[in-house]
Amino acid sequence: MSQETSSPMGLFERYLSLWVALCIAAGVGLGAVFPWIFQTIASFEYASVNLVVAVLIWVMIYPMMVNVDFASLKDVGKKPKGLCITIVVNWLIKPFTMAALGILFFEHVFAGLVDPQTAKEYIAGMILLGVAPCTAMVFVWSQMVRGDANYTLVQVSINDIIMVFAFAPIAALLLGVTDIIVPWQTLLLSVILYVVIPLIAGYFTRKALDGTGNHERIAEFTGKVKPFSVMGLLATVVLLFGFQAQTILEKPMVIVLIAVPLLIQSYGIFFIAYAWGYLWRVPFTTAAPAALIGTSNFFELAVAVAISLFGLNSGAALATVVGVLVEVPVMLSLVAFANRTRSHFPATA
């Protein structure tokens, strides 16, 4: 994976918070003025999966999956500490703290502000975010802190493999705790559609491009398709906020209520992983990406599963969309913090 010398981010990524904000405004505005357009798009679904959203999510995920290098897994044993932090935080801490925060806020702190059924849907959406560690934008965050690109690939590769087997069981377990019936068939179908198939497609694309061992072809290819990934994200944001336009306009405080536990979760998880890396004397180029991976979410998958399980206009779908709104500015602030504290970590193992 190549590093850009002039800037670790392109125009779209550099001002991603602005583009997301504009797309949110556009989605809400269009959804309020032309609701029939979004109702028509919502009707295009098969097996509880919206086809338009599925295509856009595929556009987002596929270019990043090309970056996943399974050959790099042979290097796992050389630096086990960073990988240990990533796995423990992503799979043994993050899903359960997210569920706990959701239950705390929507069944207790905000109990008088939201009806019980809607509260359960918000909790479900938050759980889906917590069970989906980042596999796409993490490459951008890693570049911004000048992290070890190869090791980031190892972390993402391991995460993807674990996700294939662990996402559905952990999500079902935690959703079950909140008394929500889990349609396993839809959940597993979503994992196959949004993780397994893109991962396989990325693998064969990478193999075809890198047949001679020349990584420059992969970098050139991903550089060309990266703008489509970001445009897919922005188009998805427009659609998702268009679907939720009436709810947002009628209950704007709901966005704030959902954002509160998500913000606590994001900053809390980062500092758990980052402090662990500091105390364990993990090199910054490994510790920073490990913490950022744990903090960032695979919101494409969370949004897709929320829509599949609970519907386009559900509270669960809205909660995952708020996750998109919260994530970008939070991650940018954490990248800035990490860069300022780089000197407190060892340069090498």
The mean pLDDT of 68-74, rounded to a whole number, is 68
- Please give the pLDDT value at position 243: 80
Burial (Cβ within 10 Å: 0-12, 13-18, ≥19) of residue 213: exposed
Q: What is the pLDDT of residues 229-257, one digit of tens each?
A: 778 878 888 887 888 788 778 778 888 99
Higher pLDDT, 52 or 103: 103
Query: pLDDT, tens digit, for every residue of 321-330?
Result: 888 778 878 8
Most confidently predicted of 61-65, 201-205, 225-229, 326-330: 201-205
The model's pTM: 0.76
Phi, psi of 291 (to 5 degrees): -70, -40
Higher-confidence residue of 251 and 32: namely 32
Query: Is the pLDDT at 268 greater than 90, yes or no?
Result: yes
Q: Average pLDDT in the 84-89 region?
A: 92
Question: Can you name the CATH fold of 11-344?
Answer: Na+/H+ antiporter like fold (1.20.1530)
Q: What integer is the mean pLDDT of 300-304? A: 75
| Residue-range domain boundaries for the chain | 11-344
